[in-house]
């Protein structure tokens, strides 16, 4: 099946239905015969759920716009915005799920966190899968893009090597760098202060970049621009303009390595990775794995 052309080849497609009460439009970042990448707005569910009465969900919007079957190959939570990959046939779904779990997969997020974390680091503590009652390996790498001392916070880019439920939120919370706007693992006083002083809109978490193997060969690489509500929040924060500029300037990020992983020079990193930027042995609680590889935090 050939993918229908976007309404404007120079811009993502706007899938917002008619009606003033409709949620923000869903943009398509990539469309081909086998894969779609959508830019999920905050507050919208990926698919219908028994836990919510929502009928207007991203999956149905994309299906209606394309007039064809699609299925998500991972999930991001309701308050999170950004890039979501959908397959257009069952074989593509299987191949994309495998690609998302591969060692060369890039699943990068942007987040605003409390305090000032190290310039770079790795969280590699396992997180609890409550359904199975066991700990699952979990690893998140991060790079601090900008400090925001006026609000005692920082903008970070985070790369997920695994996909546990709420992984980014839980890893950073255990390090006392809770995400701004996180009502489950965050600090209430911190969120209230940001809402009162700077109109914090919601959880400051955005699925930023995806780079994985395409089912037909080559790479599927997409970047979702920072969601408008988070961009506006940063514009209201002292130092926020510099943080937004740091996002635009971050064409390539030098992610911190981990023990046993080949370095840029082609040699495996040794045990010396237990340095100032490495946070090992972090223990989490209250997690469960999703049915599909999860690129969410």
For the annotated catalytic residues, the residue numbers are 77
The SS3 call for residue 203 is coil
Cα separation, 156 vs 113, whole angstroms:
7
Cα separation, 102 vs 106, whole angstroms:
9
Yes or no: say if 181 and 191 are a contact pair by the CB < 8 Å rule: yes
Beta strands in the chain (DSSP E): 13-14, 27-31, 35-40, 71-72, 81-87, 106-114, 120-123, 127-129, 134-136, 140-148, 153-160, 205-213, 219-223, 278-279
Tokens representing 75 are 């999930």
Residues 6+ apart with CB under 8 A from 161: 139, 140, 141, 258
Bridge partners of 49?
52
Instruction: Quote the distance between the C-alpha of residue 116 and its chain's center.
Output: 20
């Amino acid at each position: 099946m050939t993918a229908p052309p976007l309404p404007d080849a120079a811009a993502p497609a706007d899938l917002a239905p008619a009606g003033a009460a409709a949620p923000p439009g869903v943009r398509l970042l990539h469309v081909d015969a086998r894969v779609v990448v959508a830019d999920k707005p905050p507050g919208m569910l990926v698919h219908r759920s028994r836990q919510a009465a929502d009928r207007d969900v991203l999956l149905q919007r994309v299906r209606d716009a394309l007039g064809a079957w699609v299925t998500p190959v991972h999930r991001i939570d309701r308050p999170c915005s950004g890039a979501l990959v959908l397959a257009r046939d069952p074989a593509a779904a299987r191949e994309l799920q495998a690609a998302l779990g591969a060692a060369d997969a890039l699943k990068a997020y942007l987040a605003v966190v409390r305090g000032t974390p190290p310039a770079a680091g790795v969280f590699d503590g396992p997180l609890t899968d409550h359904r199975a009652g066991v700990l699952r390996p979990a690893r998140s790498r991060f790079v601090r893009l900008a400090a925001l001392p006026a609000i005692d916070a920082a903008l970070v880019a985070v790369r997920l090597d695994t996909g546990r439920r709420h992984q980014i939120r839980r890893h950073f919370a255990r390090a006392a760098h809770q995400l701004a706007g996180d009502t489950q693992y965050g600090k209430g006083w911190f969120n209230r202060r940001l809402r009162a002083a700077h109109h914090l809109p919601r959880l400051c978490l955005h699925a930023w970049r995806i780079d994985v193997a395409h089912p037909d060969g080559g790479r599927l690489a997409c970047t979702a621009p920072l969601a408008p509500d988070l961009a506006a929040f940063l514009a209201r924060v002292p130092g926020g303009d510099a943080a937004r500029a740091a996002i635009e300037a971050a064409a390539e990020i030098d992610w911190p390595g981990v023990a046993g992983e080949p370095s840029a020079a082609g040699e495996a990193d040794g045990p010396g990775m237990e340095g100032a930027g490495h946070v090992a042995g972090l223990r989490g609680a209250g997690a469960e794995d999703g049915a599909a590889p999860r690129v969410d935090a």
